[in-house]
Amino acid sequence: DQQVKQNSPSLSVQEGRISILNCDYTNSMFDYFLWYKKYPAEGPTFLISISSIKDKNEDGRFTVFLNKSAKHLSLHIVPSQPGDSAVYFCAAPNFGNEKLTFGTGTRLTIIP
């Protein structure tokens, strides 16, 4: 049972425009959500997180929105830059333990 889902395996966006990456989840008990970014041949790196008590968190060009009623979160990147080309994973902790559940990832390509 995939508790965290990223239904778009890939996304291409023009440089300077907005990139929107989506993530759906099934477990309403998740305490928080995280986004990780991964370049080829490197490990994932933490990008931004949001607590379940908030509906928005912003860090520079990156904003994450949480819609709890729809069990949906999205990552907005504005403006998109070539260095943003990477695979993005959303993740959430299983309730009551230390295990993070990851989505399958979305490959973002920024077109110059």
Q: Of 24, 44, 77, 110, which one interacts with another protein (CB under 8 A)?
A: 44
Please name the residue that has the structure tokens 């989506």.
22
Instruction: Provide φ and ψ at 64, rounded to 5°.
Output: -110, 135
Q: What is the DSSP letter of 99?
A: P
Nearest residue to 91 (alpha-carbon basis) of 20, 17, 9, 6: 6
Does the protein bind another protein through residue 16 (CB under 8 A)? Answer: no
Nearest residue to 37 (alpha-carbon basis) of 106, 86, 110, 92: 86
Does the protein bind another protein through residue 102 (CB under 8 A)? Answer: yes
Q: Of 13, 21, 34, 75, which one interacts with another protein (CB under 8 A)?
A: 34
Does the protein bind another protein through residue 105 (CB under 8 A)? Answer: yes
Site string for another protein, 56-85 (x = CB under 8 A): ------------------------------
